[in-house]
Every structure is written in structure tokens, then in C-alpha cells.
């Protein structure tokens, strides 16, 4: 069992699009990088992508951050990736494993790597998908592969074998780090670490729960009872 944050070997990335939360997370010593995506940006009310990205880059102060392309056309993905890359040396460009038609984006990955762009291949669900784009990676260029382990688990499949197999697939690409994406609970951090994953990215809501590492369970039980009692009183409930 992990007794404290200092025992974690896996890198923690904060996932979000709220600039205030991103600043708070980035200032924490145990947060090594940040990620975002168009869905989170939409929920946060972001209307100007480039302005948001520039503000976020000022906040993270050199830590790696991933911004995602959103075109469905492969050529336009490349153009967007080059623009995002130009915003900062610590930018990783998120490229989905396929577009919405299921066309694999190996051409985009190869073209961006050719131009020195660090790519984060996202929305990956199976190691076979990684095999299909494996030859696109330039072994000299750092990058990430984001396995959506939480979504795999939503299908009642254990994501750990998928992660381990992906690590084997990428064995000859030491500069490509595997990210455990879309976690559902703090326990996933331990699972990701034990699977050999390099990074786990999680929302602020999950990362805030790190304060409960090794928390006394009897006290946790009492805290929960008090919460139920306080909320019942606030609601003005009665049983009669």
C-alpha cells in the first residue's frame, strides 16, 4: 500500500481546462504536467483556443502540457498541430488515434514528428491500435500514448493487461511514455503505477482526494456519518 505521495513513482498530470484550477494544480510539487481536451474546454466555457493555450502556458511555467487538435481532416490536423506546437517548447500536441470516420492518424503523427513536434496520441483503447501507428513515431522525438483505462474499465474489462501490452509494443520507443487516462478513482493511481505506466492524468476532483492517502478508516467512517447528519439537518428533513 502507498503510505504517502513521496512513495509514488508514477508521474501525476492534472487534466482540466479551468485556468484557476490549472494554476492551483501546477503549483503543487507532485504535479509533473497538465493535459486538456476540447470537451473539458467546452465545459469551462473557453471560446478562443489560442488565447486559452497561451494563458495556460504562462500558468504551467515550463511543465509539459498537452493541447488537442480538433479537425477531422488529416491535413488540417497537421496544420493545427504545428500552430499549437509553436506556442511553447513544453507543448505536446494531442492527436486522436483515428478521426471520426475511423481513419488512423499515422500520417499526422509522422508529419508532426518530422517537424519536431512532440505528439500525445489520445483516445487509445487497445494495443492493436498502437501497433497500427507504431511506424509513424520518430524514435528521437519524445511523445505520449494515452490509454483510456477508465473507459476500458467502463466496459467491464480490466485495463491493466491492455496497458502492459501497450508498454511491450512500445518497448523499442523509450522516448514514448504511456499515460493512464480517464481514471475514475484514486486507487487507479496505484493500479497505473503497478502496471508500469509512466504517467496518470486525472481531474482536479480526483487529485484532491490524494489527501486521503492512508487515511484512518475509522475516522473516515465517522466523517461520513457526520456529513450525512449535517446534510440532513441542512435539508430540513423530518420523518413522522
Catalytic residue among 11, 43, 54, 94: 94
SS3 94: strand
**Helix %, strand %, coil % of the chain (to 5):** 50, 20, 35
Clarify whether 94 is annotated catalytic. Answer: yes
Active site residues: 94
Amino acid at each position: 500500500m502507498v503510505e504517502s505521495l513521496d512513495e509514488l513513482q508514477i508521474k501525476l498530470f492534472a487534466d482540466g481546462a479551468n485556468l484557476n484550477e490549472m494554476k492551483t494544480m501546477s503549483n503543487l510539487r507532485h504535479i509533473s504536467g497538465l493535459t486538456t481536451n476540447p470537451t473539458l474546454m467546452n465545459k469551462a466555457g473557453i471560446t478562443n483556443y489560442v488565447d486559452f493555450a497561451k494563458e495556460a502556458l504562462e500558468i504551467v511555467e515550463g511543465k509539459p502540457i498537452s493541447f488537442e487538435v480538433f479537425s477531422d481532416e488529416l491535413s488540417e490536423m497537421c496544420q493545427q498541430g504545428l500552430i499549437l506546437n509553436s506556442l511553447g517548447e513544453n507543448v505536446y500536441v494531442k492527436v486522436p488515434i483515428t478521426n471520426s470516420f475511423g481513419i488512423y492518424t499515422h500520417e499526422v503523427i509522422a508529419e508532426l514528428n518530422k517537424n519536431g513536434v512532440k505528439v500525445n496520441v489520445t483516445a487509445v483503447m487497445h494495443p492493436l491500435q498502437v501497433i497500427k501507428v507504431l511506424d509513424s513515431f520518430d524514435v528521437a522525438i519524445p511523445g505520449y500514448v494515452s490509454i483510456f483505462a477508465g473507459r476500458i474499465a467502463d466496459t467491464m474489462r480490466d485495463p491493466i493487461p491492455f496497458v502492459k501490452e501497450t508498454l511491450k509494443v512500445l518497448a523499442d520507443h523509450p522516448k514514448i511514455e504511456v499515460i493512464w487516462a480517464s481514471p475514475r478513482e484514486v486507487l487507479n493511481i496505484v493500479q497505473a503505477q503497478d502496471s508500469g505506466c509512466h504517467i496518470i492524468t486525472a481531474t482536479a476532483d480526483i487529485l484532491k482526494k490524494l489527501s486521503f492517502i492512508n487515511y484512518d478508516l475509522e475516522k473516515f467512517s465517522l466523517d461520513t456519518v457526520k456529513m450525512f447528519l449535517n446534510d440532513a439537518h441542512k435539508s430540513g428533513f423530518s420523518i413522522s
